[in-house]
Amino acid sequence: MLRQYIVVPIYWGESFAVVGAPIFNLFDMNNAIERLMTASFAPGLLEYGVGNSTMLFTLDIAPGELPVGSGFSDDQIHQLIADQINAGRVPAPDTFGDLIPFYVVVLRQGLTYPANPAFVGEHSTFSYGGKNWLCAWVMQGGDLAGTTPIFTHEFAEATSGSEIGDPCINQNVNLYGDIAERYRSAVTQACVNPANWTPFDVVAWGENRLDLFHIGASDGALYHMAWDGASWSGWQSLGGVVGPGEPACVSWDKNRLDIFVIGLDRAVWHKAWDGAQWLPSQGGWDSVGGVVGAGSPAAISWGPNRLDVFMIGTDRGVYHKAWDGSNWLPSHTGWDSLGAVIGAGSPAAVAWGPGRLNVLHIGRDRAIYHKLWDGVNWVPSQVDWDSLGAVVGAGSVTAAAWQLNTLAVFHIGRDGAVYHNSWNGSFWTGWESLGGIVGAGSPVAVWSATFLHVFVIGGAGAVYTKHWDGVRWVPSQTDWVNLGAVVGAGSPKVVSWGDDRLDLFHIGRDGAVYHKAWNGRDWFPSLTNWDNLGGSARI
């Protein structure tokens, strides 16, 4: 079974305060760590048995910052971690369920490590509660880009159980704006780029029509392929140089597409297909502003010529903007704050009817929070959220709506199982375990005419599914059906363009996009086989 980790950062001293930090603050480092864990670096460690990994968004600044020029020891680092746990400032290591904690102490620039003065980071174990737990210290570099490679070096070595970073010291790679260090692959026996996939998305705007998008491995552009009911078009470039996170694709009418991505400037960029041409051009994009801190944008439409887009800001709050058919609101590049402090993952947004929005996120306490737009107001308020409880492990919260005033919400628990909660129009039914051991990505769900279908990636990299038939979960409450595949990383994607029709996609370990379809009775090409659609979604 894949090992799943949660990074717990601890910042030693006021040099990392939100206001007045001389180099970068804890928000900057936290956001970079989350991006590396969920969207780029950690998924590439699959060959070493590292599965779904995440981070605990902590605001912990440990007191007693050492003066510049001071020396420190591993014993001091271990004692600092224990003190922070005992003070209740970070959780104890035995509170994360099946997630394995990796405590990381970030030190100010200018300290010395007498045991080996050349070291800028070191991983080890510390004893707590009668057990040994993984930890590391990381020295602050000249800037954020000089610090994240040290973190990735220590994370790769600690979680793999091997010194795979040492042969690749200072061999850095830019992963959509975040700098990471290469590691030595056990397969190729060479230093390799840490990520082995790039994000993708799919949308269906009408019967027997599919539009598939992925970020190119070599140039960072967005690529597009379409199914017209008879054949696939082949991949074409839509230009751009896309930053971290997944593209968000939505359709509000037949032959209409809107795509949102994060640029290297961390703004949200947009382009559209109007039925005849790409706007603003085949290779051009339009910035709609914002500064994305972590995660991916979410975009939905509740009616013709209406778009709602959500993102996580650098302050970890949720931000929103809308297209009303004529203008972007509140302005072309402006965004409205919806409050919140995101703990992990990306926001999820669904619409079950005109003028109705439901938005969900994972909070710092790892619970799931919800708010809604009722057509006039945000409920419970513009900046407040209702807690739905839960204790989320890795991945993001996902949701599906299949009829008026009905929602299904899913997350991965700390035991690696999938959990489900639903709104039936009057009340939330409560969380129930659907079993399974999720190895990577997040659960995805879609409603066909008859069933609610859920898909996950298992611990061995295969895609698994189950469905709700209106009465019960099939094949059972906790069992799943194996659909085959060897997934590289990320989550599968699924869409439905007609009654009892599903199209399912994933990225393989060779970087190609794979597809299979459900016609209401059978999977094609077969239950466990997939069609290779090509593409190069591998870095």
Neighbours of 222 (CB within 10 A): 28
Yes or no: say if 351 and 335 are a contact pair by the CB < 8 Å rule. no
Q: What is the pTM of this model?
A: 0.82
Average model confidence (pLDDT) across the chain: 89
Q: Is the backbone of residue 282 left (phi > 0), alpha (psi -120 to 50) or beta?
A: alpha
Instruction: Give residue 7's pLDDT.
Output: 93
Exposure letters 59-85 (e unless 16+ CB within 10 A, then b): ebbbeebbeeeeebeeeebbebbbebb
Tokens 């807690």 belong to: 387
Instruction: Give residue 173's pLDDT.
Output: 87
Per-residue pLDDT reduced to its tens digit, 399-425 = 998 778 889 999 988 788 899 999 999
DSSP class of residue 50 equals B
Neighbours of 127 (CB within 10 A): 10
Q: What is the mean pLDDT of residues 200-213?
A: 92
Alpha-carbon 29 to chain mean position = 17
Choice among 266-275, 292-301, 306-315, 486-495 with the minimum mean pLDDT? 486-495
Per-residue pLDDT reduced to its tens digit, 38-82 = 666 776 687 888 876 788 878 789 999 999 999 999 999 999 999
Quick check: 166 pLDDT over 90? yes
Tokens 């206001």 belong to: 19
Dihedral Cα 340, 341, 343, 346, nearest 10 deg: 60
Instruction: Give residue 459's pLDDT.
Output: 67
Choice among 262-266, 501-505, 525-529 with the minimum mean pLDDT? 262-266
CATH level 3 topology of 399-429+441-539: Neuraminidase (2.120.10)
Quick check: 187 pLDDT over 90? no
Per-residue pLDDT reduced to its tens digit, 119-148 = 999 999 999 999 999 999 999 999 999 999
Quick check: 538 pLDDT over 50? no
pLDDT band, residue 430 (cuts 50/70/90): very high
pLDDT band, residue 539 (cuts 50/70/90): very low
